[in-house]
Amino acid sequence: MTGVRVAGVGLTPFGTHEGRAGRDMFAEAALAALADAGVASEDVEHLNYGNFMGALAERQGHQAPLMVEAAGLRCAGTRYEEACASAGVAIREAVRAVRSGEADVVLAGGMERMTNLSTAEVTESLAVAADELFEVRAGVTFPGAYALMARAYFDRYGGDREDLAHVASKNHANALVNEYAQYQRAVSVEEVLDAPVVASPLGLFDACPITDGASSVVLVSESYAAEHDLDAPVAVTGTGQGGDRAALQDRADMARTPAAADAADEAYDDAGITARDVDVAEVHDCFTIAEVLAIEALGFYEPGEGIGAARRGETTRDGRLPVNLSGGLKAKGHPVGATGGSQLAEMTRLLRGDHPNSDAVPDATVGLTHNAGGTVASAVVHVLEVAE
């Protein structure tokens, strides 16, 4: 089994790309990743592409060959759909392909175009990631679903809206210097608390925005990197995936996310590390409560202890474990199919030292990314390390 290096990363700015086709956005990210890697397009052996709602937002299915063409590649492509974890799964399968020796160079990432739809249309489109028969028909949307999870957490462990407000404020502060972030402005705890309620106890600033964007990473074998003298200091040393019941009412506990815990356990075992070895993390904070659930499932905190982490300053840029230095989904944005690739790109930049927030973690050698689908019915975790 060969090691896997991240040779290059590429992103579009996240936000509104009015009048721009999804294939154009993905091409921008893909070409940027290839240029960053110094890898010729003809060396790419496969495209692993994540997308969730393209058939609804752009009335376009069968997107993989279109993205291969748009990126100027001459290879086969496969589209992966796992709701908000689509790109995370695409990258996981790319890692497995390189490790097995099936390929030396794989381009992986994703794209989502969302802002061309109205808020109501986006909400309806995203809702199909829930259980249509038992949740969607009853009117459940993801703000409502995560509000139920937040209430379940508060009932069991305590905590309040102000704890969640500190998560939002922290992530907006991290996005201030990120040129790819949708919202590069500070949001105070008071502003979060004063914002309109969307689904109690969650308010407007507890939710990630509607976003367009694309992400790409070039993954190569260690032998290819050595043969082509690539500057690829970051390795993917661990990967894991977990699953859970799709519908909340079918779960034993709405205040826990076992899919993420299982994915993390597999990734840690794969990398030969524990949660204590992680220096910095990018987690799936589609809602503020999601970050709390994530840092507990990943083993950084015991159940009930994660709720106050941001308030105590432990997960801020100056804390013992900085979380979401990119701004997270909350402030950087959440183009659903692109998010998992964006997390890996941001973590690579952080560990390489060329991210605007790398100065917060100058000695970091181990990073983790956590990408979740739906109400964490799907989860993918990757461990990235600075190679010796």
Q: Shortest CA distance to 247 belongs to which of 149, 133, 131?
A: 131
Residues 291, 138: Cα–Cα separation, whole Å: 26
Residues 243, 248: Cα–Cα separation, whole Å: 13
Q: Which amino acid is at 148?
A: L
Active site residues: 84, 334
Contacts of 118 (CB under 8 A, 6+ apart): none
Phi, psi (rounded to 5 degrees) for 335: -75, 100
